[in-house]
Structure formats: structure tokens, C-alpha cells
Amino acid sequence: MREHVAREPNDKPGQEMSYQQWEERRTYKRYPSDLPVRFAEPGGDQPEGRQGNVTNVSRGGVFIRTKTPALPGTVLELCIGVVTPFGEERELKVSAEVVWINEDLGEEGMGLRFTQIDRHSQYALLACTYRGEG
């Protein structure tokens, strides 16, 4: 099993922490979800982006299950598919930084911290999980 690593954006090389240490530092409660997501680096060479599923959500970030996680410290543009409380399908566009990655076979993915999200998008994202649609 590979070690999960996390790194704060201002940490120097060698200051990585284990996934367990990162879990202990979390500020917000996580809620399970299952939301489709597309993601890409701003101005990256894959304009249509890569795909995955948001498997948990908090006020501060998300975990995306994907076989193609980006490296810690990478800022990504996310397009997350949600259904609003009014039954409308919407795609939320937010920016987030990769904080840690999981490379274990079958559990591949990355934990991200929001760097740019408006209150309406944050509400819509959390509302999906509260209603059990995510």
C-alpha cells in the first residue's frame, strides 16, 4: 500500500504529512456524495479536462475519485454536476487546490481544498449531500 501524502501549499519539500495526519487537521465535516466532475488545469493541454466523481464534500473542499489525480499543489478548475433544490440540473464551476492524493489501486483520487467558490455554489453543493442525492 502506498503512503498517502499531503502538503500545505507553503510547505517546503520534505514537509509532507501522512493522510492520517491530514485527516486529523480537517476543519469541516465531510458528507458522502456521488457527483460527476470534470477537471482541468487552467490553460492546460487538456481543455476538455479529465473526469471523476466527487465522493465526499465539505464546506472547505472535496474528494474526487479518479484514476488520473493531479499532483499536490496543483490548482484545478472543477465542473461539478448537481441537481438544485428546485430539481434543476446545474454545473458548478469552482477552483480548488490538490492537497493530497491516494494512489491505492481501486481507491485512486485526490483531496482538494476550494480556492474559489461562491456562496451559491457552496450551498448547491452541500444541499445535494444533505438531501441524499449526492
| Domains of the chain: residue spans and CATH | 5-130 (2.40.10.220)
C-alpha cell belonging to residue 7: 502538503
Q: What is the predicted pLDDT for the residue at 71?
A: 94
Confirm if 40 and 77 have CB atoms less than 8 A apart.
Answer: yes
**38 vs 16 pLDDT, higher one:** 38
**Interval 83-89 mean pLDDT:** 81
Q: What is the pLDDT of residue 86?
A: 80
pLDDT averaged over every residue in the chain:
80
Q: Report strand pairing: 61-65 vs 75-83.
A: unpaired
Residues 6 or more apart whose Cβ sits within 8 Å of residue 76: 39, 40, 41, 42, 70, 95, 96, 97, 98, 112
